[in-house]
């Protein structure tokens, strides 16, 4: 016997939408949006997030720093600065927008790096033609410069990557007691610092290396020059820090297949697929020799690092001994100075007593003579 299936009605008081939740089954999207959230304009079906009121800055992050600069390549030849600003306007305010029409690339600066990450996630790898058509259909009055007929955008694809920080410096020989705040405070004398980080390992311990990001390249060059010419100490440790221009590496995008140059070497090397060399072949012999050379290099590096570590240990021991010797000498000097002060005080008191003695008028002698007869008289009575 089949039991009738009853559909229970949902209680409208129990099913409540979360703040900011948009019901996909509702026909009116404007009714589900918060009052302070701008509604999408035009017939665009893809959800568009306007980030004008949300800077998404990390704690301590300065607005419009160099970390928010993005290099945009793959632009059409007709793209202007105005159209580039319109393209990124939904990701917040822009403090910088530059377009190189001949090379088809540009540069923008957003308010924070988080906004740059969002823009990069949405626009990187998308065809320029589809982006222009989407923006043109969303607001024809504002996007006259985004008309797709003005550009050579049939085969253009946007590529976004963060611009290298031109005012960043690498710092080495940091003490384990140095923090991000102390590192920033130490370099603020050269100019405004956007970011200061002490690099830590997987266990949260200092690696002795750090990174300083200035707001100006001139300040970074000045800090580099002063640290090279002088000896800059951050703490009581006598080991000076080393400041060098930072080396930028791209470990996010890497080198895709589309960016490799098709040269003769490319076709020669790519003629064979990845494989393990067979023993007894020519490639196995020379590959083995390469491995032996790499192993010898690693061994020599390890020996060199060990000798350097021993030299650092000896230097630290000498430094500690010299420091304690210096502290002992300073202590002896303080003791001798305090003793001299006490001796000088005693001499001053003695001089004061000697000056005060003539003023008493010989009271000690008279007292002695007057006391002596009394003693002699008492002795006679006792006899």
The total of structural domains in the chain comes to: 3
pLDDT of residue 233: 95
Q: Read off the pLDDT of residues 192-241 as tens digits, 9 standing for 90 and up.
A: 999 999 999 999 999 999 999 999 999 999 999 999 999 999 998 889 99
1 assigned to some structural domain: no
201 & 156 share domain: no
Same domain, 177 and 130: no
> What are the CA-CA distances from residue 380 to residues 98, 296, 330 (Å)?
124, 112, 66
Sign of CA dihedral 295, 298, 299, 300: positive
The partner residues of 98 in beta bridges, in order of sequence, read 107
Is there a domain that residue 368 lies in? no
DSSP H or E run through 285: helix 282-356
Nearest to 239 by CA among 307, 329, 313: 313
Query: Residue 264 domain-assigned?
Result: no
pLDDT on residue 16: 42
User: In angstroms, how far is CA 93 from the centroid of its own chain?
Assistant: 23
Q: How many residues does the chain have?
A: 383
Distance between CA atoms of 186 and 237, rounded to whole angstroms? 15
pLDDT for the residue numbered 368: 47
The vertex-113 CA angle with 71 and 33, nearest 5°, equals 110
What is residue 207's predicted lDDT score, i.e. its pLDDT? 95
Q: How many CB atoms within 10 Å of residue 328?
A: 10
Cβ atoms within 10 Å, residue 214: 26
CATH number at residue 98: 3.30.70.330
Tell me the per-residue pLDDT of 310-336, one tens digit each, with 9 for 90 and over: 999 999 999 889 888 989 999 999 998
Domain boundary among 162, 196, 231: 162
287 shares its domain with 235? no
Query: Pick from 162, 181, 209: which residue ends a domain?
Result: 162
Is the domain of 137 the same as that of 189?
A: no
Calpha distance 99→88 (Å, rounded): 13
90 with 148, same domain: the answer is: yes
Domain range enclosing 296: 275-316
Tell me which H or E stretch contains 310: helix 282-356
Task: Please indicate, yes or no, whether residues 190 and 235 belong to a single structural domain of this protein.
Answer: yes
pLDDT at position 46: 46
Structural domain contains residue 132: yes
Residue 285 inside a domain? The answer is: yes
pLDDT in tens, the chain (383 residues): 444 444 344 443 443 444 444 344 443 333 343 444 444 444 444 444 545 555 688 777 888 888 889 999 888 777 888 888 888 888 888 888 898 888 888 999 998 888 989 988 888 888 877 666 666 555 554 444 455 445 555 567 888 999 889 899 999 999 999 999 999 999 999 999 999 999 999 999 999 999 999 999 999 999 999 999 999 999 988 899 999 999 888 877 788 887 888 999 999 999 999 999 999 999 999 999 999 999 999 999 999 999 999 999 999 999 889 888 989 999 999 998 888 888 888 888 888 888 877 655 555 554 444 445 555 555 555 55
CB atoms within 10 A of CB 184: 19
Residues 153 and 72 in one domain: yes
Domain end point (choices 263, 283, 316): 316
């Amino acid at each position: 016997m089949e039991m009738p299936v009853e559909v229970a009605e949902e209680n409208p008081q129990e099913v409540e939408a979360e703040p900011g939740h948009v019901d996909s089954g509702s026909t009116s999207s404007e009714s589900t949006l918060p009052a302070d959230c701008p509604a999408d304009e035009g017939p665009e079906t893809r959800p568009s997030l306007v980030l004008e009121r949300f800077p998404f800055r990390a704690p301590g992050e300065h607005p419009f720093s160099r970390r928010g600069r993005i290099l945009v390549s793959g632009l059409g030849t007709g793209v202007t600065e105005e159209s580039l600003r319109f393209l990124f306007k939904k990701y917040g305010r822009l403090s910088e927008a530059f377009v190189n029409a001949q090379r088809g690339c540009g540069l923008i600066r957003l308010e924070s790096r988080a906004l740059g990450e969002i823009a990069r996630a949405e626009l990187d790898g998308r065809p320029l033609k589809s982006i222009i058509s989407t923006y043109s259909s969303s607001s024809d009055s504002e996007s006259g410069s985004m008309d797709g007929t003005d550009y050579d955008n049939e085969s253009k694809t946007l590529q976004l990557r963060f611009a290298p920080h031109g005012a960043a410096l690498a710092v080495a020989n940091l003490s384990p007691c140095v923090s991000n705040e102390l590192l920033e405070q130490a370099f603020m004398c050269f100019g405004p610092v956007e970011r200061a980080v002490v690099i830590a390992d997987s266990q949260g311990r200092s690696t002795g290396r750090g990174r300083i990001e200035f707001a100006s390249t001139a300040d970074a060059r000045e800090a580099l020059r002063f640290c090279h010419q002088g000896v800059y100490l951050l703490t009581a440790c006598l080991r000076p820090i080393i400041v060098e221009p930072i080396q930028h590496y791209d470990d996010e995008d890497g080198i895709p297949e589309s960016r490799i140059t098709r040269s003769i070497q490319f076709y020669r090397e790519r003629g064979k697929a990845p494989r393990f060399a067979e023993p007894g072949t020519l490639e196995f012999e020379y590959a083995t020799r390469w491995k032996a050379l790499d192993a010898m290099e690693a061994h020599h590096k390890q020996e060199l690092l060990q000798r350097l570590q021993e030299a650092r240990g000896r230097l630290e021991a000498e430094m500690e001994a010299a420091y304690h010797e210096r502290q002992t000498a300073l202590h002896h000097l303080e003791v001798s100075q305090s003793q001299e002060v006490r001796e000088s005080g005693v001499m001053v008191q003695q001089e004061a007593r000697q000056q005060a003695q003539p003023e008493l008028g010989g009271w000690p002698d008279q007292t002695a003579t007057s006391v002596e007869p009394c003693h002699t008289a008492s002795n006679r009575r006792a006899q």
